[in-house]
């Protein structure tokens, strides 16, 4: 009998997606694979290994802990920590040999202090971030960004200026604003190239920009969602020639007859209006199946679509099989993936609950085992 819940990850698909994306890059650009949030739910270490096999030249994460996990996993590729780091987190990031992002001179001094404490590690490579419109991390002021870059240069040999970066706010939607951000970023890159000839890696493009706007590729792109085969525009991976790497499965644990008026699930949000058969799958919001799918989703069993009915609970969901079921206890159930000619994608689930595929994939909990394979062959 299948596991109560399992996420199957096709590492070969990740490799192919990376190759597909690299094949679209402007000449001279390379790909940095973003494996933060446990590889968007796919497992950071296996996903990173697959991405590098596919041709990625660097890895990116959001935290010092994530960088340390990759180094402990034996990776020697450059690792860029994209997120903010507190003074308490800095030693771990430096010890992992991670490249850091700065937008404040006080942060540069904090990194120097870590190095001055006898960390014993080579120069810390620093990327300076200009906020051109996303409005989160990074300074909005070109003058301040340049001052931070010069502070890094002045801190040699302990620090090394490695890159100039920004992040697009609307690459999956408004390309006009992308162009506006790019125009604001170009003078910053030009100034840094004058200050440190040959040393600067300019990067701005996320997955959506990589797929849609070749002029944003610059020296490097940072692809996250796309390497896992999810559509950056949250529509259909096939439209971007991407192959979903993850499928989510459970199994039919029980089948019982419901008479007209019988209910299923907490709150009696589903009440049968006719005699029908109800299947229970032992998977729920504790595994990452959103309660927003209550009376609002589908599952594949035996190559057929069936509606999820009733309230999604922590450990179970219920499925309306209809008056003449062709389903038996023990059969595989697919919540994300393909069964016969039918397919359910992370994008399908996201649209039903008013979110994006990122959240669907990252929301699959650690309680769900990950089973790795390469086109069906066990990894």
Catalytic residues: 36, 266
**Residues in CB range of 267: below 8 A, 6 or more apart:** 311
| Of 234, 228, 231, residue with least CA distance to 15 | 228
Residues 6+ apart with CB under 8 A from 324: none
Q: Which residues of 102-121 are buried (b: 16+ CB within 10 A; e: fewer)?
A: bbbeebbeebbebbeeebee
Alpha-carbon distance of 300 to 370, in angstroms, equals 20
Q: Residue 76 to residues 21, 98, 227: CA-CA distances in angstroms?
A: 22, 10, 20
DSSP 187-255: HHHHHHHHHSTTT-EEEEE-HHHHHH-GGG-TTEEEESGGGGT--TTSS-GGGGT----EEEEEE--EE
What percent helix, strand, coil does the chain show, rounded to 5? 35, 25, 40
Q: What phi and psi, each to the nearest 5 degrees, are found at residue 343?
A: -145, 140
Cβ pair 227, 17 in contact under 8 A: yes
- The first and second tokens of residue 333, run together, are 């159930």
For residues 255 and 279, the answer to whether their CB atoms sit within 8 Å is yes
At 277, list the tokens.
């058969």
Q: Are 330 and 1 in contact (CB under 8 A)?
A: yes
Distances 97 to 100, 108, 112, 215, 236 between C-alpha atoms, Å? 9, 16, 14, 31, 37
If phi > 0 it is left, if psi is from -120 to 50 it is alpha, else beta; for residue 340 that is left
Residues 6+ apart with CB under 8 A from 120: none
Residues 100 and 125: beta-carbon distance below 8 Å? yes
């Amino acid at each position: 009998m299948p596991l109560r819940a399992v996420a199957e990850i096709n590492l070969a698909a990740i490799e192919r997606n990376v190759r597909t994306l690299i094949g679209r890059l402007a000449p001279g650009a390379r790909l940095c694979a973003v494996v933060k949030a446990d590889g968007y739910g796919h497992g950071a270490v296996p996903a990173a290994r697959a991405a590098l096999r596919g041709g990625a030249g660097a890895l990116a994460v959001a935290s010092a802990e994530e960088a340390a996990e990759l180094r402990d996993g034996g990776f020697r590729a450059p690792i860029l920590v994209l997120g903010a780091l507190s003074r308490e987190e800095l030693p771990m990031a430096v010890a992992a040999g991670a490249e850091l992002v700065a937008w404040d001179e006080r942060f540069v001094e904090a990194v120097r202090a870590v190095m001055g404490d006898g960390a014993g590690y080579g120069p810390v490579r620093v990327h300076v971030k200009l906020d051109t419109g996303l409005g989160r991390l990074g300074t909005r002021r070109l003058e301040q960004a340049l001052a931070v870059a010069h502070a890094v240069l002045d801190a040699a040999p302990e620090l090394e200026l490695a890159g100039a970066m920004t992040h697009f706010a609307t690459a999956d939607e408004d390309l006009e604003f992308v162009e506006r951000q790019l125009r604001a970023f170009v003078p910053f890159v030009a100034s840094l190239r004058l200050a440190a000839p040959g040393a600067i890696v300019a990067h701005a493009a996320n997955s959506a920009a990589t797929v849609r706007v070749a002029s944003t590729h610059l020296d490097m792109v940072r692809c996250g969602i796309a390497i896992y085969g999810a559509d950056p525009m949250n529509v259909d991976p096939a439209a971007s020639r991407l192959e979903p790497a993850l499928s989510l499965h459970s199994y039919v644990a029980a089948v019982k007859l419901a008479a007209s008026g019988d209910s299923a699930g907490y709150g009696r949000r589903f009440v049968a209006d006719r005699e029908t058969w109800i299947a229970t799958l032992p998977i729920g919001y504790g595994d990452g199946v959103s309660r927003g799918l209550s009376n609002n989703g589908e599952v594949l069993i035996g190559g057929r679509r069936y509606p999820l009915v009733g309230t999604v609970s922590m450990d179970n969901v219920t499925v309306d099989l209809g008056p003449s079921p062709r389903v038996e206890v023990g059969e595989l159930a697919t919540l994300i993936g393909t069964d016969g000619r039918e397919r359910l994608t992370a994008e399908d689930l996201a649209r039903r609950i008013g979110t994006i595929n990122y959240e669907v994939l990252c929301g699959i909990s650690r309680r769900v085992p990950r089973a790795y394979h390469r086109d069906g062959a066990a990894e």
